Structure 1
């Protein structure tokens, strides 16, 4: 149990360190005059990153991280213009395709209700100290 707690703490420290490193690098590049796109440190990119981080920490199970990732991704794609091509026009179909693939490929949770109705013998031979 302790090794699991230490591994979790090390993962958090690694993620936090990388996050601080990236933010510091972006600020350094901006302050030295290098043109950094405006959408890199915007609220929607932070939302996208938070959604991906939550998904990573929960092994991409559940759907709370997915909502943050989709909303952040849509607004981030809307802010990105590559070669005067509006990436937002293709982002909605890409999100729908990705959502469909997620629904198709997600692991299925099979609940076996037989185990709840089985009678299990009680062991009275075990003595408590």
Structure 2
């Protein structure tokens, strides 16, 4: 168990290190005159990254990280232009597709009614004894 905790901490530390290196590389490219798109270091891209980072740290459990990620993604997609084509024209469709995939692929958390009923009967028999 201890090895698993250490490995998980090491993986998260490596992820943070990679993130810092990428941000530093973007700053270096921008300061040396390379044309880096303005949306890469905007508030909404940082919000998107923060949401993904929080989700990664919490193993994508809960929904707080999802709100940050969705809001950041919507504003980032509105700001991206690729080959003079604005992503804002297809943002709603992409968000709906992403939401649908999340609903389909999320882990199933349900109890079988028969097992629940059997467990309740066993508890009642134990109380009577």
Same fold flag (TM > 0.5):
yes
**TM-score, normalising length: structure 1:** 0.80
* In 2, Cα distance between equivalents of 1:25 and 1:106: 34
The total of aligned residue pairs comes to: 121
Counterpart in 2 of 1:125? none
Counterpart in 2 of 1:20? 20
More off after superposition, 52-61 vs 33-42: 52-61
- Give the secondary structure class of the aligned counterpart of 2:38: coil
* In 2, Cα distance between equivalents of 1:52 and 1:58: 10
Alpha-carbon RMSD: 2.1
Counterpart in 1 of 2:95? 95
* In 2, Cα distance between equivalents of 1:22 and 1:70: 22
Counterpart in 1 of 2:5? 5
**TM-score, normalising length: structure 2:** 0.80
* In 1, Cα distance between equivalents of 2:57 and 2:37: 28
Where in structure 1 do 4 or more consecutive aligned residues deviate above 6 Å? none
Counterpart in 1 of 2:110? 110
Unaligned residue ranges in structure 1 (runs of 5+): 122-129
Unaligned residue ranges in structure 2 (runs of 5+): none
Counterpart in 1 of 2:65? 65
